[in-house]
Homo-oligomer: A and B are copies of this chain.
Amino acid sequence: MIMDYLERNYLPENFYGIPALIDYCNLGEMCTFKKGDPIILPGQYLKKLLLIIDGKVKVSRLSSSGREHFQYFAEKNAIINELFPSEDSPLQIIATRNTQTCMFTSGQLLQIISNDNTIALEILKGLSQKSNYFEERLVERTYDTATTRICHLIRNLVLQVGVYEDGRCLIDIPLPQNYISQITGLHFITVCNVIKKLKNEKILGKDGKKLIVYDVEKLNKYLMLYEE
């Protein structure tokens, strides 16, 4: 019972996917995109539910001043709900690999749900996880300092994927600093400065592509320090 909740996503990728939808591709419209192709550009209305069958896409939003704000990556089995876009939709979806998608209209989705109504719950679950992720980021961007945002991200990755070895914790996920910048909404230079500070304080390090947390205790204490 206690485990019966949605796992949090700490990175804006691998959101809850719906493999069962693949059985209904004959109802939808199959679309193929080459790496770099736009799937939607800002101002376009898709009015479809997208299922990623294969490949990878990047979902972004434009700010009012036209800056691109990265939202998330979607890969195999992921859904992107653009059935009900808002007016002047500032959404942009670009294929970052050769990508195959199946697009469903709301009518087609109704047909699918008539056949298997648990799909409706699965979609709801996927969208809940995504909303939770973005609402959390909103709270964080409102109240947390740059250092806190980055330390939280690292602490969450320690909890989720960290592997302890010789008293250090390894995080074996590619996490370049420009990705940290996109996730936290911080300027690239700010990310560099915080990471440098954490390295100087012997909290963080790198082993090839792996991130090393030398001192998880110190990372946690650091967070407490900056939260007050």
Contact = CB atoms under 8 A, between A and B. Distances in A.
Given A64-B148, A128-B81, A69 B121 contact: no
A68 to B, nearest CB: 9
Interface stretch (A105-113, A197-205, A206-214): A105-113
Most buried by B among A117, A125, A227: A117
Interface in A3-17: 4-8
A228 interface: yes
Interface in A44-103: 45, 47, 61-65, 67, 69, 71, 81, 83-90
Contacts of A65: 143-144, 148, 227-228
A130 B130 CA distance: 12
A121 to B, nearest CB: 6
A144 B64 contact: yes
A214 B199 CA distance: 53
A20 to B, nearest CB: 15
Given A64-B223, A117-B117, 7 more contacts: A6-B85, A63-B139, A65-B228, A67-B143, A110-B117, A120-B120, A141-B142
Contacts of A135: 61, 71, 134
A127 interface: yes
A136 interface: yes
A141 B144 contact: no
The 7 closest A-B pairs by CB, nearest first: A65-B227, A142-B185, A120-B120, A84-B128, A69-B139, A63-B143, A86-B132
A129 interface: yes
A118 B110 CA distance: 7
Given A61-B139, A81-B124, A136-B61, A86 B6 contact: yes
A135 B7 CA distance: 20
